[in-house]
A and B are shown apart, each in its own frame.
Chain A
Amino acid sequence: MTPATLNLGDLVILVADPSSYTCTIIHGMLRGFGANKVLDAKDSLTLFRALSGQKIDILICDARLPANDSNLRKQGGGLALTRAIRRNVNNENRTIPILLMASDTRETTIKSARDVGANMVIAKPISPSALYDRLTWIAFNPRQFVDTTNYFGPDRRFKIEGYPGGVGRRKGDKVVEVAAETGPALAQDDIDNFFNKARTGQD
């Protein structure tokens, strides 16, 4: 299999994270991948401004991005923002791919990220290989969108059978036991594998 290559040239990438240093690092990685249009947002206000002012191709957002709106803040920052983007019928960026970055990778957080309409979750601290693989996965494995009364977002019933570049989980790999509801943080492989449960009817 020829490994998939990612062409990020001229794509507008919005990185939303409260820490300017994290933004700098992710910028560096994306530029290394060939991206030349990377924008920043530090909170929900700048995020929505960026989303309404121009066409964004992909959003990479921190799950705890500070929300300026008190309702969004109560519902959990970046997670609530993702839901708000997906729910807003007037937003032309409603269907953009959203990659959520999470420091807290407990099962409940990953489940919430999936259920608010995130395409994928990446665990912090982020490595260049993890970021490249997840972007590649989003680009080469398009999923249909589901619109119901309770959910708008990518179909949650999907299975990762290895990343397009030939790395990551393979068919024959051992199934990872997912931690209990309030259990410890999940590793990136476990986060990816977690989505598998929905497809097999276990969730």
Chain B
Amino acid sequence: MADKKHPEAHLFYVDTRFEKRARRPGGIPREKAIEMAQARIEEIRPGFDVWLDQKLQELSKIIRSAQENPAEPEWVDTAFFLAHQMRNVGTTMGYELLTYVADSLCEVFDEENFDSERNMNSVICHLDALLLSRQEQYRHLRPEQVPELSIGLRRVVERAASDGSPKQDPSAAAATRPGVKKNR
């Protein structure tokens, strides 16, 4: 059948196997399915801390090495991928703040004018914040519960994006250090 507006368009229905079979009787009702999925996540959760510590260690190592050899830009892709992984699973595993900080770090790496040397302070600031958000007393917090940290990181990202020559904001850096007062 041709679309009247676009005569060259061919329109047709495909009754895919997924559509046919997923609609079969005997499925799991939404609430029950979500409850069971949540139970599966709970089974995985104990391994999350181990996984997260590994990823944080890898990221720290890569950043340390980049500080020593800033001329080798390949580290950015690896660090970006690590930050992405943390961002993508943090909230699902109950680490909302981790997702927020990792997302902010992805934004720094994603910046068109990202420069290993120039933006290193922003990266280190985010690494500190990631290590902080992994701590027991911070892991269940939402970004709005730690405004000093979230606003500070926002400022770091904006500065990195705006003039391409960020200087580390002392208040932002302080906000990312362990022991900073929380605003619950």
Binding site for B on A (CB under 8 A): 3-11, 18-19, 21-22, 24-25, 28-34, 55, 57-58, 64, 95-97, 103-104, 124-129, 131-133, 135-136, 138-140, 142, 144-149, 155, 165, 167
Instruction: Identify which of residues 29-77 in chain B touch chain A, using a CB-to-CB cut-off of 8 Å.
Output: 29-30, 33-41, 43-44, 51
The interface-forming segment of B10-18, B127-135, B142-150, B170-178 is B10-18
Instruction: Assess whether A25 is in contact with B92, with CB atoms less than 8 Å apart.
Output: yes
Does residue B99 face the partner (Cβ distance < 8 Å to A)? yes
Instruction: Assess whether B13 is in contact with A21, with CB atoms less than 8 Å apart.
Output: no
Of B11, B12, B27, B91, most A-chain CB atoms within 10 Å: B27
In-complex Cβ contact of B18 among A104, A124, A125, A138 (8 A): A138
Sampled A-B contacts (30; CB under 8 Å): A3-B29, A5-B33, A6-B27, A6-B33, A7-B23, A8-B22, A8-B27, A9-B26, A11-B17, A25-B44, A25-B92, A28-B44, A32-B35, A32-B38, A33-B33, A96-B16, A103-B87, A125-B89, A125-B91, A125-B99, A126-B92, A129-B30, A132-B37, A138-B22, A140-B23, A142-B13, A142-B14, A146-B3, A147-B9, A148-B8
CA distance A19 to B80 in the complex (A): 12
CA distance A127 to B81 in the complex (A): 21
B16 proximity list for chain A (CB < 8 A): 57, 95-97, 142
Does residue B19 face the partner (Cβ distance < 8 Å to A)? yes
Closest to B34 in A: A128
Instruction: Assess whether B24 is in contact with A7, with CB atoms less than 8 Å apart.
Output: yes
CA distance A34 to B34 in the complex (A): 10
CA distance A4 to B25 in the complex (A): 10
Instruction: Assess whether A132 is in contact with B34, with CB atoms less than 8 Å apart.
Output: yes
In-complex Cβ contact of B22 among A6, A32, A146, A155 (8 A): A6
Does residue B21 face the partner (Cβ distance < 8 Å to A)? yes
Instruction: Assess whether A32 is in contact with B106, with CB atoms less than 8 Å apart.
Output: no
Interface of chain B: mostly helix, strand, loop or mixed: helix
Known A-B contacts A7-B28, A32-B38, A125-B91; the reply to A148 vs B18 at CB < 8 A is no
Instruction: Assess whether A25 is in contact with B21, with CB atoms less than 8 Å apart.
Output: no
Known A-B contacts A29-B40, A32-B39; the reply to A7 vs B25 at CB < 8 A is yes
Instruction: Assess whether B88 is in contact with A125, with CB atoms less than 8 Å apart.
Output: yes
CA distance A156 to B180 in the complex (A): 49
In-complex Cβ contact of A34 among B25, B33, B38 (8 A): B33
A126 proximity list for chain B (CB < 8 A): 92
Minimal beta-carbon separation of B79 from chain A (angstroms):
14
A148 proximity list for chain B (CB < 8 A): 6, 8-10
CA distance A21 to B19 in the complex (A): 28
Of B16, B22, B36, B103, most A-chain CB atoms within 10 Å: B22
In-complex Cβ contact of B40 among A31, A144, A165 (8 A): A31
Minimal beta-carbon separation of B144 from chain A (angstroms):
15
CA distance A115 to B81 in the complex (A): 25
A4 proximity list for chain B (CB < 8 A): 23, 30
Instruction: Assess whether B28 is in contact with A6, with CB atoms less than 8 Å apart.
Output: yes
Instruction: Assess whether A33 is in contact with B21, with CB atoms less than 8 Å apart.
Output: no
Does residue B121 face the partner (Cβ distance < 8 Å to A)? no
Of B11, B34, B84, most A-chain CB atoms within 10 Å: B34
Known A-B contacts A7-B21, A32-B39; the reply to A103 vs B10 at CB < 8 A is no
B168 proximity list for chain A (CB < 8 A): none
A135 proximity list for chain B (CB < 8 A): 22
In-complex Cβ contact of B27 among A5, A29, A32 (8 A): A5
